[in-house]
Structure 1
Amino acid sequence: MPNILIAEDHTLIRMGIKMLVKEVLGLSWLVDFAADGREVKQKLSEKSYEMLITEINLPNTNGLDLISSVLSALPTCKILILSLNNESVFAHRFLKIGALGYIQKCNSDEELKRAIYHISMGKRYFTANQAQEFSTAFLSNNILNPFEKLSEREFEVALLLLNGKSVLEISNSLSICVSTVSTYRGRIFEKLRVNNLIDFYNLALKNQVIVNHYN
């Protein structure tokens, strides 16, 4: 029987996703849960999964590293991202590294069910907004979001900085030396034209790279 792993740290959301999975794919699919990045990797070491539905803001990991680790351990795993983070900023990055779909949690259940079905068949799934934005980006060289100027590694470091990680913590997390992290931070600030962490954080809020939960 096919196995699916749902990685989400909120119990009610996990159960809601499970119900939709069973509705779309049938009762034969066996569903397991993981609440953080370490548990995802533990589950993958114990069992093979045909599909992973995951939040990218899980504890004890960062989203880009998590997806890369999953595909390294299980290259055939079909991955659907389900997250609060704005698809206009994050979707293309996760699709480029191997996810088959990216859905925001504010999207309808019907949208999520369509994504689950298509991805279970090994097909990519784009929302209408993503399809429009990707086609516009293909036809135009205009960069509307300054964070698009960052490379994949720079963006990964940027997210860790925005999560309050120190240079040493980022060094340990990404297994790179402290001086390299400092170099990345300098490049990030230069490309974004910010001078300090406060300006950096405010720019990330403005461009919906991070979510202000108090608004």
Structure 2
Amino acid sequence: MKVMVVDDHDLIRKGIILLLENYRDIEVVADAGDGHEALVLAMQNDPDVVLMDISMPNGLDGLTTTKQLLQQQPNVKVVLLTMHDEEVYIRKAIQSGAHGYILKKSQGSELYEAIYHVYHGRRYYSTDLSDAQIEKMMKAKETPPSPLTLREQEVLRLNVLGYTNKEIAEKLHISAKTVENHKSNMMSKLGLKQKHEMIQYGIKNYFTDIH
């Protein structure tokens, strides 16, 4: 089982890798410190399972990265790692398409179990919620596809997080003028007239309530 580890804390990442190296049937093929790096390394290394921290910096958290990763590589399985056991996080994990959800306080053997389960096509959500509650959320997750492109979603998310056009342009390696064009296109698609309406739309739809 080829595994990639994604966590912005160097020590946690190295600790997880050391733990996984104890298992003969696991090979850690890559590790990344943020979502952008994770998307690139996943393409290069083609892992079977990605262990993904939810809380990461640079405008691309684990939930958003998971969504983009699964669009980029539909066969990859993603297990989210988090300190949060609240329903809102679990709901958003399901909406992101994650195959597993495990708490950072879990035992090492449970981490292996999560990888093994999702690799073999099963779901693994280790939370305080009952299976029935999770099943209900799974059924409710079928939401209509976003009218926005992935790039527009990135621009919107960074905009909601308070980045200026210039800062967004630098992060996404595009021009400030292109950022402005994306914003105009989004407002037109969504039928919005004021910029604050676009920000409200972003907060409601793109995970910006989670850091």
TM-score > 0.5, shorter chain as reference? yes
- Looking at structure 1, the residues matched to 20 and 128 of structure 2 have their Cα atoms a distance apart, in angstroms, of 23
- Looking at structure 2, the residues matched to 28 and 58 of structure 1 have their Cα atoms a distance apart, in angstroms, of 25
- Looking at structure 2, the residues matched to 184 and 104 of structure 1 have their Cα atoms a distance apart, in angstroms, of 33
- Looking at structure 1, the residues matched to 88 and 70 of structure 2 have their Cα atoms a distance apart, in angstroms, of 22
In the alignment, structure 1 residue 55 sits paired with structure 2 residue 53: yes
SS of residue matched to 1:32: strand
Q: Which residue of 2 aligns with 1:134?
A: 134
Cα offset, 1:93, TM superposition = 1.9
Amino acid at match of 1:38: H
Over 3 Å counting, the alpha-carbon distance change for 1:125 and 1:159 in structure 2 is farther
Q: Which runs of 5+ in 1 are unaligned?
A: 139-150, 192-200, 211-215
Cα offset, 1:5, TM superposition = 0.9
Cα offset, 1:65, TM superposition = 2.7
In the alignment, structure 1 residue 8 sits paired with structure 2 residue 7: yes
1:182-207 deviation per Cα after TM superposition (whole angstroms, max 9, x unaligned): 22444688x8xxxxxxxxx9xx7xxx
**Conserved 8 A contact 1:44-1:73:** no
Q: Which runs of 5+ in 2 are unaligned?
A: 139-143, 147-153, 173-178, 188-194
Q: Which residue of 1 aligns with 2:151?
A: none
- Looking at structure 1, the residues matched to 134 and 156 of structure 2 have their Cα atoms a distance apart, in angstroms, of 23
Cα offset, 1:58, TM superposition = 2.3
1:105-147 deviation per Cα after TM superposition (whole angstroms, max 9, x unaligned): 2334343332222122221012252326436779xxxxxxxxx
RMSD of the alignment, in Å? 4.1
Q: Which residue of 2 aligns with 1:183?
A: 197
SS of residue matched to 2:51: strand
Q: Which residue of 2 aligns with 1:84?
A: 83
Q: Which residue of 2 aligns with 1:142?
A: none
Over 3 Å counting, the alpha-carbon distance change for 1:106 and 1:69 in structure 2 is same
Q: Which residue of 1 aligns with 2:21?
A: 22
- Looking at structure 2, the residues matched to 167 and 62 of structure 1 have their Cα atoms a distance apart, in angstroms, of 20
Over 3 Å counting, the alpha-carbon distance change for 1:30 and 1:45 in structure 2 is same
**Conserved 8 A contact 2:29-2:47:** no
Cα offset, 1:77, TM superposition = 0.4
- Looking at structure 2, the residues matched to 112 and 42 of structure 1 have their Cα atoms a distance apart, in angstroms, of 24
1:81-120 matches, within 5 Å, as 81-120=80-119
Q: Which residue of 2 aligns with 1:146?
A: none
Amino acid at match of 2:197: T
Cα offset, 1:16, TM superposition = 2.2
**Conserved 8 A contact 1:21-1:116:** no
Q: Which residue of 1 aligns with 2:120?
A: 121
SS of residue matched to 1:107: coil
Identity %: 26
- Looking at structure 2, the residues matched to 83 and 158 of structure 1 have their Cα atoms a distance apart, in angstroms, of 25
Range moving further from structure 2, 75-84 or 97-106: 97-106
Q: Which residue of 2 aligns with 1:32?
A: 30
